[in-house]
Chains A and B, each alone.
Chain A
Amino acid sequence: MKKTGIVFLLLILAFLLVWPFIGPEYQVYLTLSFFAYSVALLGFNLLFNYTGLLSFGHALFIGVGGYTAAFLTSRFHIPYMEVSILVTILLSGVVAILIGLICVRYIKIYFAMLTLAFGMLFHSFLMKTYHLTGGDEGMSVEQPYLLGMDFSSMDQMAFFSGPYYYYSLGVLILASIAMWRIVHSPFGLCLTSIRDNPDKAEYLGIGIRKYRLLAFIISGCFTGVGGVLLAPITGHMDPGMVFWTHSGDMVFMTLVGGFSNFFGPMLGTVIFITLRDVISSYIEYWRLIFGALLAAIVILSPGGVIEVLTNLFTLIRRKIMAGENAS
């Protein structure tokens, strides 16, 4: 990563660290969704950008994470967040293996439709197993213990803007480092080679199904962890969390932010969460505005908003350098 990029990231990190102290309580609360979706999209984009597979059913893994947290906290009374995360990684991995073994045999629209189908199957399962999952009423998620510490004596908003905020930020940082290493590893290079030309990759000895399956499993685990982080914020899990429109929201965030940049989907979550909050407070049909925005982005800047910002930054830097040279 370039020096300017590192400086920029450190500035954002510094801002996020002080944000609970300077930001309005409600905005800080919204930032928690940004952390959760960012972790989820790290996984989604490993599949979409680096492997070339568009999943239209990734909300399934948000559901795996969210319902795991719900079951553990409210049904089994195991409030430890770390346990929820570990169990989610395990369950997401198992679910991803089962689904992935079928899905990764296909690519393009067939892969997208299969993942969509499995997502909707899971949705139906959650709806129909009322005695287990609460059906359409869902399940409540209790406030979790963080690093073994009980914060139940705290006011809920104080918990979210304090311990839970920094915990989620920590998970996002760790997940980002892990994913950064994965995409810059030999495995990551092999994935991009499969995305670019699977026939050629296979002739170079890369077992494309094996790699796609592993990418699917890792992707599912990351998205599952995002679901665990999201669960306490909503305080409630219902089948709507795994409905295909939620998977569509994840695709939207990734495309708007910029899928070809590692940090693009994170920017997409900021745009999505902020706009949804602002627009939905004025009009009911916020998805209409989102549709128009997505169309504009795809037509005008396929690289997403991050591409626009990067180009703008490069332009400004060039002008400054040209000015310095002239003087």
Chain B
Amino acid sequence: MILEAINISKYYGEFCALKDVSIGIDEGEFVSVIGPNGAGKTTLINVLTGFLKPDAGQVNFRGKDIAGKGPEELSTMGIARSFQLVHIFPELSLINTIKVAIISRQAKGMRLFASLARDKEVHEQALEVAELFGLADLLEETAKNCPQGIKKLLDVASAFALHPEIILLDEPTSGVSTSDKNKIMQVLVDASKKIGIKTVLQVEHDMDIVFSYSDRIIAMQQGKVLADGSPAEVEKNEEVICTVVGQKECFQTFNRIMSMNREERA
């Protein structure tokens, strides 16, 4: 097991965001975390990536307890993440944003007098990542001037450029038009394969994407794990679907839409 949360709890004052949550991610898995707003999905990601310290419980990465370790340390250990709300460097160009990750991975950040412009290795690797994410035509564009979809891709691309062992994506397609969602997911999956990132954990609201790309789905509600299983198992779980979609009568409609989407893709 590459990443494991054991009985983690997290409180915001009186409010319990996570209550005794235990999950495990195996190497090579594509796992999606689903649930209604306030279910604790983002808190779970924040705890797993060191952004928040759990009030109780243990987080293990390759068997080592990493609960409370900061993002920088986790990043060097091989854990990367992207954010629900895009996190970019507004004044940096797209190529330089990706270069920051590569410099960090290659531990070149403390080179005070080396010329960045002449570092071919960093430049070529940044180009490769940019090409994988379809950003090659916008290399010199300042990040803040890019459309939302590009910013989202840039956020994810910079995390991918770290070549992590596991990547945690918090709603990678949020704020992106429905027609572009599948394209972005395909880009992410292809990039993961090419870069060699085997394990992906994502929080996602779009059920079509969740059921299309996941090996396993973890459903959450009110800070607890409601279900943990394969897409086929979760799809049949009426309680999960009703909780996630929000209405009881939606269960059959949901299954009908999912089968239609499957046929369409086939």
Contact = CB atoms under 8 A, between A and B. Distances in A.
A192 B92 contact: yes
A185 B103 CA distance: 10
A205 B92 contact: no
A173 B221 CA distance: 63
Given A189-B103, A202-B72, A205-B72, A184 B116 contact: yes
A192 B89 contact: yes
Interface string B153-182: 001001100100000000000000000000
Contact of A186 (B80, B87, B88, B103): B103
B113 interface: yes
Nearest to A188: B116
A193 B116 CA distance: 14
A8 to B, nearest CB: 20
B140 to A, nearest CB: 14
A222 to B, nearest CB: 13
B89 A202 contact: no
A65 B88 CA distance: 39
Interface string A165-208: 00000000000001001101111111011011101111111111
A185 B112 contact: yes
A211 interface: yes
Sort chain B's interface into a size bin: 35 or more
B92 A182 contact: no
Interface residues of A, number: 28
Contact of B96 (A182, A189, A195): A189
Contacts of B162: 204-205
B115 A206 contact: no
A265 B242 CA distance: 62
A178 B112 CA distance: 9
Contacts, number: 102
B233 to A, nearest CB: 33
Residue among A189, A199, A214 with max Cβ neighbours from chain B (10 Å): A189
B109 A197 contact: no
B241 interface: no
B112 A184 contact: no
A196 B76 contact: no
A203 B87 contact: yes
Contact of A203 (B97, B109, B114, B159): B159
B92 A193 contact: yes
Highest count of chain A CB atoms <10 Å: which of B70, B104, B155: B104
Contacts of B101: 204-205
B100 interface: yes
Given A197-B89, A205-B105, A185 B111 contact: yes
A190 B100 contact: yes
Contact of A202 (B71, B99, B103, B105): B71
B113 A186 contact: no
Contact of A196 (B80, B90, B103, B117): B90
A41 to B, nearest CB: 19
Contacts of A185: 111-116
A186 B111 contact: yes
Interface centre among B71, B101, B105, B119 (most CB of A within 10 A): B71
Contacts of A199: 71, 87
Q: Which 6 A-B pairs have the closest CB atoms?
A: A205-B75, A205-B104, A196-B89, A200-B87, A186-B103, A202-B71
Given A201-B100, A203-B159, 4 more contacts: A187-B112, A189-B100, A190-B104, A204-B75
7 contacts: A185-B113, A188-B116, A197-B88, A199-B71, A200-B83, A204-B100, A205-B101
